[in-house]
Each structure stands twice: as C-alpha cells, then as structure tokens.
Amino acid sequence: MEDELDYLIPTIEQGSISGQRQLRQTLEQAQETLPNQKGKPTQKPTLRWILQCFQAIHLVSLDGVKHLIELNDRQRLIVPFLSGACQKYYLLC
C-alpha cells in the first residue's frame, strides 16, 4: 500500500502543476484575469484557489434531468477558462 502511495502522490502533484499551468496559459492567451483570494485580478491564480471556489456546487437529478445548483458569479467567470472536460462536467459547454 505504501508503494502505491509513493507513486500516487507525485502523479497528483504533477497533474496539479499541469492543470495550473494550463489555466494560466489560457488566461494569458485570452488576455483575461480572474479574482484572487482578495478579489484582485490576476492572470496567475493557484489551482488550489480555483478548486476551493468550486467546493459548494451540488448536482441534482430530477426526473432524469441533471441540474447544477449554487453556481455563483465567480464560478461562472472561472468555468470558461477550464479544460473542455471540466466545462462539460459543470454542464456549461
């Protein structure tokens, strides 16, 4: 089990670094900014901050139709700069 964790942790870290780099490159190419923790515009948000912004989202299925609830203005602002898979996950593409 410990050997598996030794492999998993660097993989997760690498994915985080890659995701953060991709987000920052997308913002730079679009010449856009996102608010940081203090609400100030930045082209270099941390992936940790972005993930924290999405902690309170709920997916509800009513009559077989999925509905995303509690998506706030900040989250709506961030989603277009995420990968296509993330956009699809949040049902906004």
Looking at residues 45-61, what average pLDDT do you find? 87
Tens digits of per-residue pLDDT, 57-86? 888 888 988 887 778 899 989 999 988 888
Q: Is 75 exposed, middle or buried (0-12, 13-18, 19+ CB in 10 A)?
A: middle
Amino acid present at 60: V
Domain parsing of the chain, residue ranges: 2-89
**Higher model confidence: residue 74 or residue 6?**
74
Q: What pLDDT does 89 receive?
A: 79
Q: What pLDDT does 58 receive?
A: 80
- Are 57 and 74 in contact, with CB atoms under 8 Å apart? no
